[in-house]
């Protein structure tokens, strides 16, 4: 349980770093679930922000197997 909690904590930290709602929707899209775009007042992700999110998620090994 401790190992799994550490993984979850890293994902949550990453989501918060990249703005919670847009990051969560982008992560769903990466997994094949179209959750649509974040709506106002949330800002849409730009390509650079998507790349930064993917880079950070790759560094923590998400999605976990």
Report pLDDT digits (tens) over 23-32.
999 999 999 9
CA distance 34 to 14: 20
Confidence of residue 64 (pLDDT cuts 50, 70, 90): confident
Taking alpha carbons only, the member of 45, 7, 48 closest to residue 28 is 45
Report pLDDT digits (tens) over 17-61.
999 999 999 999 999 999 998 999 999 999 999 999 999 999 999
Report pLDDT digits (tens) over 1-21.
999 999 999 999 999 999 999
CA distance 13 to 63: 15
CA distance 10 to 36: 24
């Amino acid at each position: 349980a401790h190992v799994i909690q550490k993984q979850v904590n890293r994902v949550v930290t990453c989501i918060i770093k990249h703005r919670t709602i847009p990051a969560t929707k982008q992560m769903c899209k990466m997994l094949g679930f179209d959750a649509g775009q974040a709506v106002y007042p949330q800002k849409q992700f730009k390509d650079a922000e998507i790349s930064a999110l993917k880079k950070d998620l790759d560094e923590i090994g998400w999605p976990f197997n």
